[in-house]
Chain A
Amino acid sequence: MRKLVLKPKGFSKIPIEAEVISPDIIGGKTLPEVKALSVQYGNKVHSLSEFFDVGGRIAKTPDEQDIVVDGDASHVKYIGKGMTTGRIVVQGDAGMHTGSQMKGGSITVTGNIADWTGAEMKGGLLRVLGDAGNLLGAAYRGSSDGMTGGCIVVNGSVGSEVASFMRRGMIVVLGDTGPFTGVHMNGGEIFVFGKVGRRAGAQAKGNGGFIACFGGIDELLPTYRYDTTFTPTFMRLYLRQLAGNLGIDVATSYIDKPMRRYRGDLAVGGNAEILVAEKA
C-alpha cells in the first residue's frame, strides 16, 4: 500500500464537499493532479490543496492506495463516497455522508462522525471509533433501498434512524442507539451491545432481518409480539465472527446466552425479529 497524507488546513464553518478523497479517484494520478482535484466550498469550486496539505505517495492502482486524513475533518463531507477499493483512515472527526454508497475497501474514522455515514452502503467496511450521528447506513430521503451490503462498526453510540430501509449488510454498535433503530428494515443484521432506543424495528417487514440487543432495550413497540426464549445457533456463529474477524471481544461473553424473541412490526404484517439477550 502507498500512503497519501492529507492534512486539513484548519476548520471551516462552510463545509467542504470532497468526494475526491477516494482511492478510486486518487490511485494512478500524479501528485500535482491530486492537488488540483476539485472540491466544493459553498457555491465555488476550489482545488484540494487549498484546504489540505497534500503529501506522501500515490499508488498506481486504487486498490494499493491508502489515504490518511490527518486531523479534524468534521467540516469535510463525502469522504470515500462510492469508493470500491483501497483504504482511508481519518485521524479525527469526519463530516456528513462519509462512505455513503461505498461498494468496497475500508474507511476508519478515529473520532466522531456526522449524519448519513455509510448511507446506502453497498459493500466494504466502515469503522468509527467514536460516536456516529443520525441515519447511519440509512436510505436517502425518498428511497426505499437503504444499506444493501457491507459492514459498519461503531465503537461509541449512534443517533436516530440507524439503518432505515436496510436490505442486507451488517451494522454493529458497541454503545447505545437512538430511536427508530432499523426502521422500515427489510433484511440485514443489526447488533447493539449498548441500549437500543425507543421504537426499534418500526415498520419493519422482516425478510430475515433482525436486531440483536445485548444491552437491553428501552421500550418495545406494542406491535411486537413475544414468542419464545431460545439460544439461536446462528447467533453463536455471528458472535464468534464478530470477535474473531472484527476484534469485538465483548461479543464472546454473549455466546450461548438465551435470547427473548419478539416478532413484528405487526402494523405492517412484518416478520422481523428483535432478539433481546436475557440479563445474566
Chain B
Amino acid sequence: MEHVDVVCPFCGCLCDDLEITVEEGHITGIKNACAVSRSKFLNHGSHRITSAAVDGKKASMKKAVKEAVEILSNARRPLIYGLSSTECGAISKAVEIGEVTGGIVDNTASVCHGPTILALQQVGESKATLGEARNRADMVVFWGSNPTAAHLRHIVRYSVMPKGMYSTEGRKGRKVIVVDVRQTGTTRLADKFVKIKPNSDFELLQALRATVRGDELPVDEVSGVPMKEIKELAEEMKNCKFGIVFFGLGLTQSEGRHMNIDAAVGLVSELNRHTKFVLTPMRGHYNVAGANTVATWQTGYPYAIDFSKGYPRYNPGEFTAVDLLASGEVDAAMIIASDPAATFPADAARHLAKIPTITLEQKTTPTTMLSKVVLPVATAGVEAEGTAYRMDGVPLRLSKLVEPPKGIHSDEKVLDMILEGLKEVAQ
C-alpha cells in the first residue's frame, strides 16, 4: 500500500511530503526522506523492547502499570520528563498525571530551547511559518545553527533552495548569511560567513542592533568581527525585503543563553523599523514545540511546571529536570520518549538511577537500563496516530502506517492506563 504526504516524525522540520510503501505490514519503500529519516523508518522495528519489565525482569503490562502507579502515588516529589518525541495526546495525559500526583512536569526544552522561551516571554517575538520563509524570504541568517547536520531537508524544502510564490529565483534570489564560531556544512553554502569568537554572540547582536539604530560604536571590532563588516551586515539586513533568522543551540546554549535570544529578538524588532524581519528557533526533537504548546494550553506554562500545591507554578532553574535531579530533590521519575541518562550531566543522571524510575520507550537506552519499570510503547507517526507541532508552531497530523508489535500500545494509551490507576488509588 502506498501512503502519500506522510509527515516525518524524526526532526523539528516535520517534512510532510514523504511517500511510503507498506507491504505485508512492513515499510519497504520511502521517497523524499533524508538519510536520517529513511534509516529511522526502515529500522523502527529492530531491537525493540518486546515486553514490559519491573526490576529488570519481564512482567505483564498490567503488573508493570500497577507498579508505576504505586511508585507515583507514593512519591512526594515525582518528576515527569521528556515528551518531545511523542505526540500531543500523550503529552496532554502526562500533564494530567503531573497534576494528579502533585508532581513536576518538564520537557526537553529545558535543555535546548528553554532559554528561547524565557526570552520570548520577556521581550516577545516576531515570527513566521516556514511556508512564509519559503515563499518570501530573500535573506536567510543561520545564527548558531547548522541545518546540514541537524535538519537535513530544511535547506532544500524551506529556507535556501526552494522557489516560492514571491521568491521565484530560488537560491539565486536569496542572500544566505551564517554566523557561527566555526566552519560547518552550512557555512559552505553561505554567501557570507561571519566567524565570531566563542561565547560572544550577545555582544555582536547588541552591536548590530545599535548600528541598525544608527549609533556609531566607539570600538574597532566586536566579537572578533571588524566594525566595518558589522556596518555592512547591518545595511544588508536593513535593505532586504523579507529576512529571517534561524537560530539554534549555538545561541541558546552558549554564554548568555536566554539573553542571547533577548538580544536577537531586539535586533529583529529594530530591523522591523526598516523592513520585514522575523526569527524562528531551529527546534530539534520533532515535537518539542508541541510539548511546550500542549503544556501551555493546559497549565499556562510551557515547561518547568510544578503542581505540588495543586495548581501550576512555573520557574525554570527551580522546576527544571536537570536542577531537580542534580540536587537530589525528586524521589521518583517517569520518563517519556527521552533519554536523560545519556544526555544529562553525570550527577543528574546518577540520581535518576537511585530513585524509582519509570520509562516509556521503544528501544533499550541508557535510561531504560537504569529504570525500575520499563513500559514498551508504539512509535508515534509510524505505529500510532497523533498530532505534532513543527518548529515554527504549525500543527501537523502524524499517520499510523503499520501495526505496533503485539500487545504494545501508544504512549497515550499507556499513560492513560497509569492515569486511571492513579485516580483509583486517589479514591
Interface size on A, residues (CB 8 A): 35
Q: Is A13's CB under 8 angstroms from B329's CB?
A: yes
Complex CA–CA separation, A44 to B76 (angstroms): 7
Complex CA–CA separation, A265 to B329 (angstroms): 39
* Choice from B75, B78, B259, B266 contacting A268 with Cβ under 8 Å: B266
B239 within 8 A of A: no
A selection of 5 A-B contacts at a CB cut-off of 8 Å is A14-B331, A115-B317, A199-B203, A222-B203, A222-B206
Closest to B219 in A: A222
Complex CA–CA separation, A199 to B204 (angstroms): 12
Closest to A43 in B: B102
B235 to A: closest C-beta gap in Å: 17
* Choice from A43, A198, A202, A266 contacting B215 with Cβ under 8 Å: A266
Spot the interface stretch: B179-187, B188-196, B308-316, B401-409.
Answer: B308-316
* Residues A253-272 near B (CB distance < 8 A): 265-269
A55 to B: closest C-beta gap in Å: 27
Complex CA–CA separation, A267 to B327 (angstroms): 38
Interface size on B, residues (CB 8 A): 41
Closest to A135 in B: B317
B318 within 8 A of A: yes
A186 to B: closest C-beta gap in Å: 13
If A221-B206, A226-B218 are given as contacts, then 20 extra A-B residue pairs at C-beta distance below 8 Å, sorted by A number, are A15-B329, A42-B76, A42-B308, A43-B101, A43-B103, A116-B318, A134-B317, A141-B314, A179-B255, A179-B256, A180-B256, A180-B259, A199-B256, A202-B259, A203-B263, A222-B206, A223-B206, A223-B207, A265-B206, A268-B266
Q: Is B210's CB under 8 angstroms from A266's CB?
A: yes
**Chain A residues with CB below 8 A from B317, complex form:** 115, 134-135
Most buried by B among A135, A141, A183: A141
* Residues B323-363 near A (CB distance < 8 A): 327-329, 331
A225 within 8 A of B: yes
A-B contact count (CB 8 A): 98
* Residues A172-199 near B (CB distance < 8 A): 179-180, 183-184, 198-199
A96 within 8 A of B: yes
A107 to B: closest C-beta gap in Å: 20
Complex CA–CA separation, A222 to B208 (angstroms): 10
**Chain A residues with CB below 8 A from B18, complex form:** none
Q: Is the interface of A mostly helix, strand, loop or mixed?
A: loop
A91 within 8 A of B: no
A142 within 8 A of B: yes
**Chain B residues with CB below 8 A from A269, complex form:** 213
* Residues A14-68 near B (CB distance < 8 A): 14-15, 40-44
**Chain B residues with CB below 8 A from A268, complex form:** 209, 266
Q: Is B213's CB under 8 angstroms from A202's CB?
A: no
Q: Is A96's CB under 8 angstroms from B318's CB?
A: yes
A199 touching B121 in the complex, CB below 8 Å, given contacts A43-B308, A266-B213, A267-B209: no
Complex CA–CA separation, A174 to B329 (angstroms): 32
B118 within 8 A of A: yes
A222 touching B207 in the complex, CB below 8 Å, given contacts A183-B259, A199-B259, A266-B213: yes
Q: Is A267's CB under 8 angstroms from B308's CB?
A: no
**Chain A residues with CB below 8 A from B103, complex form:** 43
A221 touching B203 in the complex, CB below 8 Å, given contacts A180-B259, A226-B218: yes
B202 within 8 A of A: yes
B217 within 8 A of A: yes
Complex CA–CA separation, A213 to B75 (angstroms): 48
Closest to B227 in A: A222
**Chain B residues with CB below 8 A from A267, complex form:** 205-207, 209-210, 213, 263, 266
Complex CA–CA separation, A265 to B259 (angstroms): 14
Complex CA–CA separation, A184 to B103 (angstroms): 33
Q: Is B259's CB under 8 angstroms from A43's CB?
A: no
**Chain B residues with CB below 8 A from A184, complex form:** 122
B320 to A: closest C-beta gap in Å: 12
* Choice from A13, A116, A203 contacting B327 with Cβ under 8 Å: A13
Q: Is B77's CB under 8 angstroms from A14's CB?
A: yes
**Chain A residues with CB below 8 A from B259, complex form:** 180, 183, 199, 202-203
Complex CA–CA separation, A102 to B352 (angstroms): 36
B158 within 8 A of A: no
Complex CA–CA separation, A135 to B245 (angstroms): 29
**Chain B residues with CB below 8 A from A142, complex form:** 121-122
Complex CA–CA separation, A223 to B102 (angstroms): 46
Q: Is B210's CB under 8 angstroms from A115's CB?
A: no
A266 touching B307 in the complex, CB below 8 Å, given contacts A141-B315, A199-B202, A221-B206: no
Closest to A265 in B: B206
Complex CA–CA separation, A222 to B103 (angstroms): 44
Q: Mark B249-286, 1 if CB is under 8 A from A, else 0.
A: 00000011001001100100000000000000000000
Complex CA–CA separation, A70 to B308 (angstroms): 27
Most buried by B among A41, A144, A183, A221: A221
Complex CA–CA separation, A40 to B307 (angstroms): 12
Complex CA–CA separation, A178 to B58 (angstroms): 51
A266 touching B217 in the complex, CB below 8 Å, given contacts A13-B329, A141-B122: yes
Complex CA–CA separation, A63 to B207 (angstroms): 50
Complex CA–CA separation, A183 to B263 (angstroms): 11
**Chain A residues with CB below 8 A from B94, complex form:** none
B202 to A: closest C-beta gap in Å: 6
Q: Mark B216-249, 1 if CB is under 8 A from A, else 0.
A: 0111001000000000000000000000000000
A225 touching B218 in the complex, CB below 8 Å, given contacts A42-B77, A141-B314, A202-B259: yes
